[in-house]
Amino acid sequence: MKKIFIIHFSLFIFLVPAFAATRKVHTIGDSTMSDYRPAATPKRGWGMYLQAFFLPDSVRVNNRGKSGASTRTFYETENLWPSVRTQMQSGDYLIIQFAHNDEKCKGQDVYHYNDSLRALGQDTTTDMRGTEPNTTYKDYLRLYVREARELGVTPILMSPICRAYFRDGKINDEGRHNLTNNNQSPITNHQSKDYVRCMREVASELNVPFLDMTAATCQAFESLGRDYCMAHFFNCGDKTHTSAEGGMVVANLAYDLIAHAPELAELASWTVKPSDEALAAYSARIEDAGRAAAFSASGTPFSKTISDFRLENLQPEIKNHQSEIINPKSKILPPEGSWPAGEIDEVANRYVEYTLSAPKKKALVIESIELDVCAYGGDGMNIHINAGFGDMFRDVVTLYENTALPKNRPIHVRLTEPLLVPAGETLVLRVLPWYDSRIRPQTGKSLRLSPLTISGKEINKP
């Protein structure tokens, strides 16, 4: 049998040599931490670079940050926290960093927020990520800490990186995750809506190491100034997600915080400060990892068009989704009919899902994935196309990102970076839409999709 070069969804296969690590550092958080595929987007999460700051024969970083996740949705989504729990062992460490998506309801819990909208006769939100910092946000942080400790894992609470919300040369309150002055809610008696303060209080209450990444990134970004930060660190189209250079800077700050935390002396003993040249080489390997992967095995060509799909938290108005072209009378939109305001990233439980299963004794090499996508009614529609495996949607990776879908004009998406579906395994492809509106919910906007075509070859079971 010919040798097969397999592209794995995790970047570790390319970046970290084989070793029996004595410890793992698990990282859970949102899109500012998560892994990205270089071919899909210029965004880079800082968790992608953290391994460079540890001795590889002592520590392995398991970056499980997830785009769009809040403390609530990461905990309650089957393939996220439950999956991380199965990977943790006694002696490991867990870095917990959330807030960006917890803020979706302006510092209110989504259930209270929906109550207030109903009282005003307004549409409720389908975005279930929002938590109130003094109550539900704290509650979920406590759950992560307690469940990690039950497994013999050391939890670390790390506050979120700041957003590049500059005002007069300084990061403003909202950029530092303090929504106190922006909140007009009469629902709660809690006046302060400061997520960083609330995380620090949980750390003190439960005697957990607290690393103030918000303060560290604020100081670093303010010292360099808005123009430099936007040109070098936040040049991905928004003021939240970092580029490769920005992600590496944040990872470096994480190293500094760990190295100077007395209660993390053991973990700090396994850190290393790489040279600038070594960091540049590490980053280059990340950028080249996907492009270097290829399959050399021969096989039987196949092409399959998938018309049937599953909708989760999306309401279809579709007359014939099996048409070979986008049906102008078909629409896919949230069940409430409006897209919530304030979304800047995917929502894990809102998607269109396609599946393809490999035969029991044959693996599939996916060589191309194609479909037409149309944003109808407005030019603020965004999508991710993610891939994962099985009912648990394991090993998730973003294959495609488009944050500038044109209004009412179909675009053809063709993805050609190869994927391997092992024999007997099911490939799951999800299209995750969101609408960019910071001011108010948007109505009259919908997503329209054609059937999805997957082409490649069947190969003998490796």
Range name among 68-77, 97-106, 292-301 with the lowest pLDDT average? 292-301
Tell me if residue 298 falls in helix, strand or coil: coil
- Give the pLDDT of residue 18: 40
**Per-residue model confidence as pLDDT tens digits over 385-416:** 999 999 888 888 889 999 889 999 999 999 98
Tell me if residue 23 falls in helix, strand or coil: strand
Percent share of the chain, pLDDT over 90: 60
Residue 158 · residue 257 · CB < 8 Å: yes
**Per-residue model confidence as pLDDT tens digits over 310-353:** 888 888 765 544 444 455 557 888 877 888 877 878 888 889 99
- State the DSSP H helix or E strand holding residue 226, giving kind and residue range, or none if neither: helix 226-232
| pLDDT confidence tier of residue 17, bands split at 50, 70 and 90 | very low
- Domains parsed from the chain with CATH numbers: 12-292 (3.40.50.1110), 300-460 (2.60.120.660)
Q: What is the pTM of this model?
A: 0.79
Q: How many CB atoms lie within 10 A of CB 182?
A: 13
Work out whether strand 315-317 and strand 452-460 pair parallel, antiparallel, or are unpaired.
unpaired
* Residue 371, pLDDT above cutoff 50: yes
Measured distance between the N- and C-terminal CA atoms of the chain, rounded to whole angstroms: 8
* Residue 15, pLDDT above cutoff 60: no
Question: How far apart (Å, rounded) are the C-alpha atoms in residues 454 and 444?
Answer: 31
Which residues touch 62 (CB under 8 Å, ≥6 apart)? 24, 25, 26, 27, 84, 87
**Per-residue model confidence as pLDDT tens digits over 123-179:** 666 677 889 999 999 999 999 999 999 999 999 999 999 999 999 999 999 999 999
- State the DSSP H helix or E strand holding residue 388, giving kind and residue range, or none if neither: strand 381-389
| pLDDT confidence tier of residue 293, bands split at 50, 70 and 90 | low
Residue 394 · residue 460 · CB < 8 Å: no
Please provide the average confidence, as pLDDT, over all residues in the chain: 86
**Per-residue model confidence as pLDDT tens digits over 183-231:** 544 444 457 899 999 999 999 999 999 999 999 999 999 999 999 999 9
